[in-house]
Structure 1
């Protein structure tokens, strides 16, 4: 039986493929339209199929050809401000196409589905750390598009023999410690990625969006999770589903937040480089603080963080950024 990884040529998806292969799951197939992913990011011997997850017939043919029993779904659009500008594009990419993939899974009898969801479904939580049972009130089309897919999975699991795990990511950062993959997308908006680019002279300055939030230093607070720890959470979720566990929704974070200015200080400290920081207005769709209550993922999956120190996350991201220039022409 095979695992289908959608978006497996992208940042988190490529780490998922590495995690599967590293533990001996060599029957891995990747679907990616390469709009933001890279061929070289898909590790051998995983098969790369260049296709759109919204093409039901193509997905059904692939599922049947490779005897897929589990789907790990990363493909989608992820930039919160862009979703405010282009809401219909986000609903197409994240919701409509996910619905097509879920239908393909149901029609082909796939019983295990892991979904890349987001902490953006919580909107502006009244309490931090925020738990899975908190009120869901996304404030961006990105968060709404992901919540709609969670709802579709919940309803499909009632009507069909489909069990799923929806993992609500907090802020994913870092890179493979062995230097095999990392955040490679040009014009990325992730803070640690952007700060590393500034430290290495790849951009002239870093902008801080909002310094008047109700936080200790006025900048947004986020829970940063290392991408390798996140990939391992998916492995554990897959194992639980294959062992017969029921559907579940779990936060993926460490339960500890850092402000934008604290992250910038960490990048300066680890890189040994000072760089220009400009202050700008708030971006639409950004809550002041978003920190995970992570007790449930520990109890349900037995997941434990291995790379949860901010300086470690930054060091891995910085090492990847240094090695990246020669890869982007591939």
Structure 2
């Protein structure tokens, strides 16, 4: 049985579904009270309320369930920025990561997976596709990549000193059902939402990359969840860090073209050109060690996402 922190969140929901499809049962840890969603089987998915900052509450979950693995997606970073006193926020964020490792030791789990981000590659000057062993700068312009870099180093240290099987997931730009809209980091969700609503997309919240030629390693969330599930259940992994992504760059223009093929009158015109060369990740390790291949190209992802939104789902 796999425990997933953040299991009712965006990526967590799809990771849960992928693990169920592979025959596993899941325990989803939620800070706030919640019930098992109706679309998940109640005999194989269990929702537990526990704040990761409360070690006793977390360990109690393992006394009620036979936990064999942990997928830690819940963050371990001060969030949202500015919501906490800086020192208190940083200490609390790292404490949640330490508590996850304490639980792993207590329960003697087989493997711990820890979510990182494509953002750790910010500032890298090497050409794409970027492999996991490319040197990373020790600086970060945002709390997410900053704490993910710290988390990777802590996870690597504890894996060696505690004798745990630990995997860091460097997760690409994820989009699809239940995703965050608007996104500050890329425009694809806004483009699809606007097409579904018959409105003009507003990309003003995107930090950079609003032109047709701008892009990044867009990975559809159903592919992301399946990749994480495969990494959790693989018999043997040869590495401690894996890029979880599509392995290619997808531009805003490519997303807009896929939308137009389904919604010909969609108002998704974008300015030509690009602000920066697209960045994408090398997924050779992931392919070799799990057999993973992305199932959703841009057109299939757009069609699936549009169908989800048109069915009345808000995000």
What is the TM-score normalised by the length of structure 1? 0.79
Superposed CA offset, 1:14-73 (max 9, x none): 111111222322x311012259x9963772221111222222111111123212110011
SS in structure 2 at match of 1:40: coil
Relative to structure 1, the CA distance from residue 113 to residue 245 in structure 2 (aligned partners, 3 Å threshold; closer, same or farther) is same
Could you tell me how far apart the structure 1 residues matched to 2:250 and 2:308 are? 22
Per the TM alignment, residue 202 of structure 1 is displaced from its structure 2 partner at its CA by 7.7
Per the TM alignment, residue 218 of structure 1 is displaced from its structure 2 partner at its CA by 7.3
Could you tell me how far apart the structure 2 residues matched to 1:86 and 1:219 are? 38
Q: Establish whether residue 123 from structure 1 lines up as the match of residue 122 from structure 2.
A: yes
Per the TM alignment, residue 94 of structure 1 is displaced from its structure 2 partner at its CA by 5.3
Match of 1:192 among 169, 188, 192: 188
Relative to structure 1, the CA distance from residue 287 to residue 32 in structure 2 (aligned partners, 3 Å threshold; closer, same or farther) is farther
Structure 2 gap segments, 5+ residues each: none
Give the conservation status (yes or no) of the 8 Å contact 2:110–2:165: yes
SS in structure 2 at match of 1:304: coil
Relative to structure 1, the CA distance from residue 129 to residue 202 in structure 2 (aligned partners, 3 Å threshold; closer, same or farther) is same
Question: What corresponds to 1:227 in structure 2?
Answer: 221
Q: What RMSD in Å do the two structures reach over aligned CA positions?
A: 3.5
Per the TM alignment, residue 323 of structure 1 is displaced from its structure 2 partner at its CA by 2.2
Question: What corresponds to 2:247 in structure 1?
Answer: 255
Question: What corresponds to 2:136 in structure 1?
Answer: 136
Superposed CA offset, 1:251-277 (max 9, x none): 122221122343233334333342366
Counterparts of residues 145-156 of structure 1 (less than 5 Å): 145-156=147-158
Could you tell me how far apart the structure 2 residues matched to 1:98 and 1:15 are? 22
Could you tell me how far apart the structure 2 residues matched to 1:154 and 1:310 are? 34
Question: What corresponds to 1:51 in structure 2?
Answer: 50
Per the TM alignment, residue 103 of structure 1 is displaced from its structure 2 partner at its CA by 2.3
SS in structure 1 at match of 2:170: strand
Q: Establish whether residue 302 from structure 1 lines up as the match of residue 291 from structure 2.
A: yes
Give the conservation status (yes or no) of the 8 Å contact 1:60–1:105: no
Could you tell me how far apart the structure 1 residues matched to 2:264 and 2:17 are? 30
SS in structure 1 at match of 2:232: helix
Aligned pair count reads 305
